[in-house]
């Protein structure tokens, strides 16, 4: 047995886990809503419009904290139901989600 190996390097470590995360954006009057974050190099992905005016996206994210924002009809918006607020690499505010 190799005792020099760090337990955090195990392939079964939580750091290696990927979980589905549901994102919802309330924008009943919007024509187009996207989500962008550090998990996709800030490349906007279109969200699905639901019948009640909410927009939805399910993403598979790695364990840890991730920054993101919604883009509603071309304008960035924070998620009021986010875990918290952080700053991206350009020091702009972004919503924070924790995946565990």
Report the CATH number at residue 55.
2.60.40.10
- The total number of structural domains in the chain stands at 1
Tokens of 9: 């390097």
Cα separation, 97 vs 31, whole angstroms: 25
Global confidence as pTM? 0.82
In a domain, 79, yes or no: yes
CB 42 within 8 A of CB 76: no
In a domain, 67, yes or no: yes
Find residue 58's DSSP bridge partners. Answer: 22
In a domain, 52, yes or no: yes
CB 71 within 8 A of CB 97: no
In a domain, 1, yes or no: no
Spatial CA neighbour of 100 closest among 74, 72, 65: 65
What pLDDT sits at residue 40?
95
In a domain, 2, yes or no: no
What pLDDT sits at residue 11?
57
CB 69 within 8 A of CB 97: no
Tokens of 51: 């019948």
In a domain, 8, yes or no: no
In a domain, 6, yes or no: no
* Local confidence pLDDT in tens for the 100 residues of the chain: 444 444 455 555 556 689 999 999 999 999 999 999 999 999 999 999 999 999 999 999 999 999 999 999 999 999 999 989 999 999 999 999 999 9
In a domain, 62, yes or no: yes
């Amino acid at each position: 047995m190799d005792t020099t190996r760090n337990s955090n390097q195990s392939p079964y470590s939580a750091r290696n886990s990927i979980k589905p995360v549901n994102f919802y954006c309330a924008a009943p009057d919007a024509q187009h809503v996207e989500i962008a974050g550090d998990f996709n190099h800030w490349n906007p992905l279109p969200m699905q419009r639901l019948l009640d005016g909410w927009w939805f996206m399910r993403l598979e994210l790695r364990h840890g904290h991730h920054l993101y924002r919604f883009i509603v009809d071309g304008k960035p918006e924070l998620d009021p139901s986010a875990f918290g607020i952080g700053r991206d690499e350009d020091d702009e505010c972004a919503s924070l989600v924790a995946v565990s």
